[in-house]
């Protein structure tokens, strides 16, 4: 279903029948992507005495309890409350859900014993483009990202200079296929989180970071319309389901 939308001063055509889901689902499995040194998620039937809330066990319904951590188990979107003393809620601060986005592919650079994404790389990929959201796909891009166990692996991260560049460029929503925009073990500095949300100045309350996405290789770099969907959790972060639609100028 082709539809034409007016976004700021531009007219774009998108096909609502061709959504591109770039989320990783939370699943109770050893194949569930995981980070931050905690056990995997649990999805289990509620139990009340001898009654087990599973149709397979004789109940009328399936009625599961779910135990997970949004930061460790699957795609999630977080707000500045993730790193502030006052715990701001993603549900209260993300009030718009459609954005003009750019998908870029980056081959991380070697920096000492780390792999990083630099300001120079982002400048090259984005040029003069003005986007609300930037979606970063890192290389190599394999389906192993859907089930990788990231704890104690020192994954790729984004340099502080790159986060400052995105903030100054007016990018409100940063989406990455990494467990964090920061180095796994950085003594709590969280340089890129702090830089992107501008914690040393006026907090960017409506800016978000989405981690643990997966952008399939069939998705070309370029301009998309992003629907950033979250669950209604009063928490600093929520599981999320970012959906892309290819945007064509009219």
Average pLDDT over residues 23-48: 95
pTM of the model: 0.97
pLDDT value at 5 more than 90 = no
The confidence score (pLDDT) of residue 144 equals 97
pLDDT value at 9 more than 90 = no
pLDDT digits (tens, 9 = 90+) for 201-219: 999 999 999 999 999 999 9
Domain ranges of the chain: 2-26+69-249
Cα–Cα distances (Å) from 148 to 3, 134, 152, 197, 249, in that order, read 37, 23, 12, 28, 37
pLDDT digits (tens, 9 = 90+) for 149-184: 999 999 999 999 999 999 999 999 999 999 999 999
- For domain 2-26+69-249, the CATH architecture is 3-Layer(bba) Sandwich (3.50)
């Amino acid at each position: 279903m082709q539809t034409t939308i007016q976004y700021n001063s531009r007219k774009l055509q998108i096909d609502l029948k061709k959504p591109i889901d770039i989320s990783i689902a939370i699943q109770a499995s050893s194949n569930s992507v995981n980070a931050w040194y905690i056990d995997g998620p649990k999805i289990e039937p509620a139990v009340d005495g001898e009654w087990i809330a599973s149709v397979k066990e004789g109940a009328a319904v399936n009625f599961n309890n779910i135990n997970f951590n949004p930061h460790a188990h699957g795609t999630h979107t977080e707000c500045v409350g993730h790193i502030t003393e006052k715990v701001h809620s993603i549900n209260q601060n993300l009030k718009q859900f459609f954005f003009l986005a750019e998908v870029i592919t980056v081959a991380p650079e070697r920096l000492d014993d780390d792999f990083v994404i630099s300001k120079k790389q982002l400048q090259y990929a984005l040029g003069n483009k003005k986007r609300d959201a930037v979606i970063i796909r890192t290389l190599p891009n394999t389906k192993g990202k859907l089930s990788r166990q990231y704890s104690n692996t020192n994954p790729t991260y984004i340099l502080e200079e790159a986060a400052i560049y995105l903030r100054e460029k007016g990018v409100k929503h940063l989406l990455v296929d990494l467990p964090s925009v920061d180095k796994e073990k950085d003594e709590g500095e969280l340089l890129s989180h702090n830089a992107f949300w501008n914690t040393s100045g006026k907090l960017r309350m409506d800016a978000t970071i989405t981690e643990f996405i997966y952008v399939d290789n069939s998705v070309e770099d370029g301009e998309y319309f992003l629907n950033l969907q979250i669950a209604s959790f009063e928490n600093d972060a929520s599981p999320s389901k970012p959906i892309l639609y290819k945007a064509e100028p009219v």
